[in-house]
Structures are given as structure tokens and as C-alpha cells.
Amino acid sequence: MSNKTIFGLVIALVVLVVGWQSFFVVSQTERGIVLQFGKVVRNDINPGLHFKLPFVQEARIFDGRLLTLDTTTQRYLTLEKKALMVDSYAKWRIDDVQRFYTATSGLRSLAEERLSRQLESGLRNEVARRTLNEVVSGERDQLMADITSSLNENAQRELGIEVLDVRVKGIDLPREVNRSVFERMSTEREREAREHRARGREIGEGIRADADRQRRVILAEAFRESEEIRGDGDAQSAAIYSEAYNQDAEFYSFYRSLQAYRESFTSKADIMVLDPDSEFFRYLRGSQR
């Protein structure tokens, strides 16, 4: 291989390296700056292909998407000095690239560490201004809105970060308080259960007493009505008998005597001792004549 050829390859390699160092690409989801000897000379570069001075300038690319800061559960005190364990997270993104790089050297871990400290401090202040009920339910939405506003203001000023939302994922009592709270709630529920049972027994006794009273009243009325019906039946029966007797008294007397004979001598072993001239044998004597 000749010297001319080697020289040409060296020149081509140098041109390739210089060209590689002279261009950089910023995508739609990224934010970029150009540094020259550590100083920002071009800020917030738009997406696309860009040129920089090789070996003199350096391009730094950062994630421009919406990011999530998930904090660890922290202990806070309410206005009544009651401890709460609060778990939260924040949604943020880079707003001022130059300020972000100046404050954090472009390190996401450093940015999230400082943002996490600010979020913890903001939550501590907001929780300390509210009662337990307000933190848990009464003003929970307002608490998140207030901490989002204050955290966004501080983060933009100090870190070049825009905080879009802060959310409280969970609020719980400390472990040492959970058992005592559970036992107090259990005791309260047992007391309420005893009260409900006693009230139920009282109502049950009243219902049973009322049912017994209604039963006695219904039976008494039924007995009265049955006696009235029975009395009316006996009166109607007596009236029918009387009417029948008045139509033919002699025949009725004869018919009653036959019934008396039939009922008196239902068996061959029946014996009756009477005077032959008794009225009982009146129709028998008449048959002999």
C-alpha cells in the first residue's frame, strides 16, 4: 500500500470523526443544550439535526417527557399532634433546561433527591396546618392542590423543573397506634352491638306480648261469636220443634215415645223395671186394646 493511499485513509478517518463530533440529534421527547468549555452557549434546542463545533462544544440531551417521583412513606404530625404515615408521588418535567443543568449537572437522580426533600418539607407544612379529619377526607383535595402549587413554584425557581401534580396515595396510622386504635374501635363496636341486641330483645318482648294479647282477644271474640251462633241455632231448633209439635201434638208424642223405646232397649241385655201403668207404656197398652 502506497503512502498516498495511507494518507488518504487517514484524511477520510479524520473527516469522519470530525463529522461525527459536529452533528447531534434531538428527538421529540428530549430537551438539549450545547456547552462550550462547561458554559451553556445554546439553550433549549428544538428537536431535529443540529451542528456544533467539534471537540470544542458538547451537546447534553435530557429526557423531556413527564416523569414520576415516587417517594417513600413519611411520618407527619397533624394540627392535633397526631402522627400519620403519608405515601405520595409527584409528576414533573424539565421546564428550563439551562437552570436544570446548572442546578443538578443534568443528573436526574440529583434532581429527584432535591425535589423529594422539597416535597417532604411541603407536605409536613401542609399536614401540620390541618386536623386529622381534614387531612384524611375533609380537605384532602385542597391539600394536594396547595402542595402542588408551592412545590411547583420552588422547583421552577431552584431546579428549572415544572411540577404538574402531587398526589397522596395513602394515609395510615403508625404501627404502634394501629393496635390501640383497633382495640378501641373493637370495644366501641361491641358496646354498640350489645345496645342493639338489648334493644332488639326489648322490641321482641313487646311484639310477643302484643301478639299474645291479640291472640287472647281473637279467641275471646271467636268464642263469643260461636256461643251466639250456637244460641241462635238452639233457639231456631226449639222453634222448629215447637212448631212441629203444635201441628199434631198426638203424633209428636207418639214419635217421641218411639224414640224413647228405641234408645231404652238398644240391647237385648237392657232391663228396665217400671210400673205397668206408667205413662211410659201408654202407647203399648193402647196397642193391646
**Residue finishing a domain among 172, 193, 219:** 172
* Positions of E strands within the chain: 23-26, 30-36, 39-45, 48-51, 57-63, 67-70, 74-77, 83-94, 161-172
- Asked if residue 269 is part of any domain, the answer here is yes
Tens of each residue's pLDDT in the chain, 289 residues: 566 666 666 676 665 666 667 788 888 888 888 888 878 888 888 888 888 888 788 888 898 899 999 988 888 888 888 888 899 999 999 999 999 999 998 899 999 999 999 999 999 998 998 888 888 877 888 889 999 999 999 999 999 999 999 998 888 877 776 677 677 788 888 999 999 999 999 999 999 999 999 999 999 999 999 999 999 998 888 888 777 777 777 777 777 777 777 777 666 666 666 666 666 666 666 544 4
User: Checking phi first, is residue 81 left (phi over 0); if not, alpha (psi -120 to 50) or beta?
Assistant: left
Asked if 83 and 75 touch (Cβ cutoff 8 Å), the reply is yes
What backbone torsions phi and psi does residue 75 show, to the nearest 5 degrees?
A: -95, 130
Q: For residue 77, give the nearest of 128, 120, 122 by alpha carbon.
A: 128
Tell me: do 46 and 81 sit in the same domain.
Answer: no
Neighbours of 111 (CB within 10 A): 23
- Asked if residue 192 is part of any domain, the answer here is no
Tell me: do 16 and 83 sit in the same domain.
Answer: no
Tell me: do 119 and 165 sit in the same domain.
Answer: yes
Domain count, the chain: 3
Asked if 124 and 146 touch (Cβ cutoff 8 Å), the reply is no
Tell me: do 57 and 95 sit in the same domain.
Answer: no
Cα–Cα distance for residue pair 161/97, rounded to 1 Å: 9
Q: Which domain holds residue 278?
A: 255-288
CATH number at residue 155: 3.30.479.30
- Asked if residue 218 is part of any domain, the answer here is no
**Residue finishing a domain among 44, 63, 82:** 63
What backbone torsions phi and psi does residue 73 show, to the nearest 5 degrees?
A: -65, 130
- The model's pLDDT over 166-195, given as tens digits with 9 standing for 90+, comes to 998 888 877 776 677 677 788 888 999 999
Cα–Cα distance for residue pair 79/86, rounded to 1 Å: 15
Cα–Cα distance for residue pair 73/87, rounded to 1 Å: 4
Tell me: do 103 and 135 sit in the same domain.
Answer: yes
